[in-house]
Chain A
């Protein structure tokens, strides 16, 4: 299992951030996540593998500056 914004989700091998996003609604504003405490940005979503038991926080980055 993994945890996405404190909600449990089943884990599967070779799971990526991009594949998790395919299962979520309203993530258009999310271009950065924190995966087990480390920042991962959208250009790397497809290549970033999620280990089992990971914790992911979606960062609503509308801000900056």
Chain B
């Protein structure tokens, strides 16, 4: 084991708050400028309005930052919360943490939902939410010891450089005899040298006797973490049971937990088989529906996609229990043991790779033209070890590859690397360069929005072309679904508060495949309901997969199968049983709506959050190039003739691309109008006064932000 040196610079003892109905009603603030450790009560009205999880994070951040705060200012905070239902053993997906900060990529609040044991361990150590702000002068470790009831700040030296080793060393250091008591949040060297650093949240895999990891990937929170010189936050906690949350109705909690868990155990093997293949089943399904990003989202399918999907990974994944929370029956966090990288610092060694999931396969595989399961594993491994978000890494390199193939950049700019699609060695080399902050990789690590500016200014690249093909919105790189043929999913990405991540609304099948929302009003309703309900999972410390990735056998016979109403009822029962607040499904939506609108206004406070920020690169809307158009010519020709009643008999392909572009962009603007109206926002995408009053978020400082933006 590595010898590490930790110098204690601050330590306090505290009286651990007794948990009642899922809450400790305490927050912990660690200020790294002064090494202050501050425990504050959480007031009842804040609990009622913000519920927990992302709601608590956003409220603390709102009070921590000014409108002018940038991501690397000391007052920017990293907040981590679980939520009142988080930490329920046996409830599927019941152990999530939600992390927020001001993003280096977007300049606005970012939130990321992640597994591992940290969130519950922190709560059962006495804190619903923690806030870390200020900047340390030296590498720092924060230790929350819920067994000894102490909080300590250490200066650390001689630590392993990457997250892969660091989490392991710290887990064993802080409880050598019982490592299952420890969960560690870390990042790696890539986080300090890029704008899309991720955080690794660990748990001890008792079966394999090793540390495992899940990632809070999106938006560069790892970069903020590294900028504050935080090397790790460690939580230590004793035995957890279903009584740890001190639920209001223990028998009710037992009943709903058993029901949901049993159903997943029975039905997952008949449905998506996530306990065997994780989310890799989505690769062939997305491919067959023309939704798998190939070559920077240019195409939606590729003949070789089958060799990077479930049929391959099912055989590669190590057998054993893979829940990222205690007793979760979805158990989709698979990994590969004894993998031997062929590049980089771990070349030739045997490592355990946590993953890959669908997003990593699509972003770092098909979108790069890399149809090789082992290369994808290697990219996955190094991104985690370096602390890099696989989605932003994949989408950014895909952009670079398309620029390279179109001569927007050349080997003169890339340091001699051929970055044609499919060049797996050079894709990996870029990632190693990102971790070191060197060479062309250092430029790629700035993200697509900044690359577009650098390529145009310094390399003479075509700014308009890059705007069309650079898959970012609000500064955040797209996650890995093709949206060209689903107007609703274009809204799902373009209108998402933090940028194009699918966790707000994933409507591709409902819209494009099933055609269940033909009108703008139908789409607007979906773009209201789904983001609101999905937000609720983040308020409560839950994973959304058990809601609609495994569904009841009779779900298809219900009035609204897309909502999986039986599970809505279970979630309402779950909330009622733990918190004692008797709630029905509609109440869950109401909880989310307040926080959702608050986050939109938070964006406004930071200088964003209006109509002009809800834009998309045209690649997300329709075919940018003649090549793309002609690859699906029959489909597009028919749309021009049938849907838009255009005479195309005298049009060449370039004319058709232009005509389709005009029509589709018009549709997207009409969609915005409909969604804003449904959400109670004005035509500029700002919540109206009536909306914030209805939702009870009409705090004076909220009204002040609205007034500054013409809403009074």
Contact = CB atoms under 8 A, between A and B. Distances in A.
Interface string B259-286: 0000000000011100000000110110
B364 interface: no
Nearest to A44: B288
Contacts of B502: 64-65
Interface string A17-41: 0000000001111111000001111
B565 to A, nearest CB: 11
28 contacts: A5-B270, A5-B553, A26-B556, A28-B516, A28-B556, A29-B555, A29-B556, A29-B562, A31-B509, A31-B513, A32-B285, A41-B288, A41-B289, A42-B288, A43-B288, A44-B288, A57-B271, A60-B271, A60-B555, A62-B510, A62-B562, A62-B564, A63-B506, A63-B545, A63-B551, A64-B282, A64-B481, A64-B549
Interface in B479-512: 479, 481, 502-503, 506, 508-510
A41 B284 contact: yes
Contact of B289 (A42, A62, A63): A42
A24 B355 CA distance: 37
B612 interface: no
Interface size on A, as a range, is 20 to 34
Given A29-B514, A43-B288, A65 B503 contact: yes
Chain A contact residues: helix, strand, loop or mixed:
mixed
Contacts of B460: none
A39 B551 contact: no
- Which of B289, B310, B562 has the largest number of chain A CB atoms within 10 A? B289
Contact of B551 (A31, A60, A64): A60
A49 interface: no
Interface size on B, as a range, is 20 to 34
Contacts of B310: 39
B286 to A, nearest CB: 8
A53 B288 CA distance: 25
Interface in B545-574: 545, 548-549, 551, 553, 555-557, 561-562, 564
A62 B551 contact: yes
Interface in B213-245: none
Contacts of A38: 311
A31 B616 CA distance: 28
A8 to B, nearest CB: 16
Contacts of B509: 31, 61-62, 64
A9 to B, nearest CB: 17
Given A62-B555, A63-B545, 10 more contacts: A5-B270, A29-B514, A31-B289, A32-B285, A39-B285, A42-B513, A44-B288, A60-B555, A64-B506, A65-B506
A15 interface: no
B514 A28 contact: yes
Contacts of B288: 39-44
Given A31-B289, A31-B513, A42-B289, A64 B281 contact: no
Nearest to B562: A62
Given A62-B564, A64-B508, A64-B509, A41 B285 contact: yes
A36 B595 CA distance: 45
Q: Which 3 A-B pairs have the closest CB atoms?
A: A41-B288, A65-B506, A65-B502
A26 B557 contact: yes
A28 B506 CA distance: 18
A31 B290 CA distance: 13
Contacts of A60: 271, 551, 555-556, 561
B556 A59 contact: no
Nearest to A31: B513
A31 B284 contact: no
Contacts of B516: 28
Contacts of A63: 272, 506, 545, 548-549, 551
A38 B514 CA distance: 22
